[in-house]
Amino acid sequence: MRATWDIFCRVVDNYGDIGVTWRLARQLVAEHGLAVRLWVDDLTAFVRLCPQADAQLLSQMQQGVVVCVWSADWQAVEPADVVIEAFACELPAAYIAAMARREQKVLWLNLEYLSAEEWVEGCHGLPSMQSNGLSKFFFFPGFTAGSGGLLRERELLTQRRAFQADGRTRDDFLCSLGVEPLAGAKLISLFAYENAALSGWLEVLAAGPQRFQLLVPEGRILSSLQSWLGSPLLQAGDTYLRGQLHIRVLPFMRQEQYDRLLWSCNFNVVRGEDSFIRAQWAGRPLLWHIYEQVDDAHLEKLEAFLARYKEGLSADAQVALVGLWHAWNTNGPIGESWQQLLESWPEQAEHAEDWCLQRASQADLAEALVQFYLNWL
């Protein structure tokens, strides 16, 4: 009998919560042959990542995953063998009670947010005893062997390399998005929250002499872009030229297409959690807009990641990288760091690929979850 898994997701905001859980659910089905239900409290965000889904259905099969609406008025169901509470989303009380009653014991996991901080290894896999006698285990994704690893599909890097080795495939893909690569231009993708540092960066990009082509999927950064352009409401298909900078607004695309966009670009600006990881698997230099938290807790996470990522870069390349990431995340002046980054470009590019390969030598998150379950049995 196939083991059954239930994943619960509350869409707090944006696309990260559903982006991570949907990707994990698909991988558990496709690579581990598990029976997975994904419970989501709001299908609107899900439908943007998976447009073939129907936002009106209470339950539907998508890519082998049973996607169910997690409604406020919870209807009793038989709990699964493994239950993942994503990002401390708090399961329905009736479901927890059913878990406690279940004859065959249930593995209950809280999948945490990603962090490169050192304490993660110490907390990963720890149990926490609940009042009803059940244990809940904390499962931390992460960048080191002592953590739960990162989401990465088995064939991802092979597919990515084949795509990047074939210029025609890339051009066809870009063409399907309405993008015609300009001769000699470096391609940049931009997915970020509203950011006051954007205008300073765009000024430098426009000044040249290097030609840049900026591809911007629809999202929150458009309001910052709009102010810099002094344009009316931007929408997919809009194109602008400012000096050496060519800008194109793209539609929000399926997750699989977004991967290909990252693989196509020379430099990727990403945010949150899932796009941040996907850009690392693209093996290209990146810039992270971290999700802001109260009391600037996010800045510690930023430092923790930078401390790991910059290792192995020369001193100058480190200064460029750290300067750029700080400026982008604290609205600082960005121009000088960007120039420095361009000067160290070959090194930054090689480093991005090395970093990707090192991370890929670790077990991926889905594999680590399955192994955790097998050890627990």
Catalytic residues: 17, 273
Selected from 8, 10, 17, 83, the binder of ligand TRH by CB under 6 A is 17
Among 6, 81, 112, 274, binds ligand TRH (CB under 6 A): 274
What tokens were used for 371?
Answer: 């192994």
Contact status, residue 185 vs residue 279, Cβ threshold 8 Å: no
Q: Is 271 in the site for ligand TRH (CB under 6 A)?
A: yes
User: What is the strand order of the sheet 186-190 is part of?
Assistant: 239-242, 245-250, 212-217, 186-190, 267-271, 286-289
**Among residues 257 and 266, whose Cβ is nearest to ligand TRH?**
257
Q: Which residue has the tokens 């707090």?
A: 12
- Residue 319's φ and ψ, nearest 5 degrees, are -60, -45
Nearer to ligand TRH, 79 or 219 (CB): 219
| Smallest separation, CB 238 to ligand TRH (Å) | 16
Q: Does 15 participate in binding ligand TRH (rule CB under 6 A)?
A: yes
Q: Which helix (H) or strand (E) holds 364?
A: none
The Cα 108–Cα 127 span in angstroms is: 9
In 3D space, the residue among 347, 344, 296, 285 whose CA is nearest the CA of residue 320 turns out to be 344
Q: Tell me if 5 contacts ligand TRH by CB under 6 A.
A: no
Q: Among residues 2, 12, 57, 76, which is the contact residue for ligand TRH, using CB under 6 A?
A: 12
CB 232 within 8 A of CB 248: no
Task: Scan residues 282-301 and list those touching ligand TRH (CB under 6 A).
Answer: 291
Shortest Å, Cβ 272 to ligand TRH = 2
From residue 212 to residue 251, the character string flagging contacts with ligand TRH as x (rule: CB under 6 A) and all else as - is -----x-x--------------------------------
Q: Is the Cβ–Cβ distance between 137 and 125 less than 8 Å?
A: yes
Euclidean distance between CA atoms 227 and 303, whole angstroms: 30
CA distance linking residue 198 with residue 268, whole number of Å: 14
Angle between helices 16-32 and 274-281 (to 10 degrees): 50
7 binds ligand TRH, rule: CB under 6 A: no
**Residues in contact with ligand TRH, shown as a per-residue x/- string from 248 to 267 under the rule CB under 6 A:** ----xxxx--x---------
CB of 23 to ligand TRH, least distance (A): 7
Question: How many residues line the site for ligand TRH (CB under 6 A)?
Answer: 24
Q: Which stretch binds ligand TRH (CB under 6 A): 7-15, 60-68, 324-332, 351-359?
A: 7-15
Interface with ligand TRH in residues 99-118 (CB under 6 A) = 113
Q: Which amino acid is at 322?
A: V
Q: Give residues in contact with ligand TRH (CB under 6 A).
A: 12-17, 19, 49, 113, 191, 217, 219, 252-255, 258, 271-276, 291
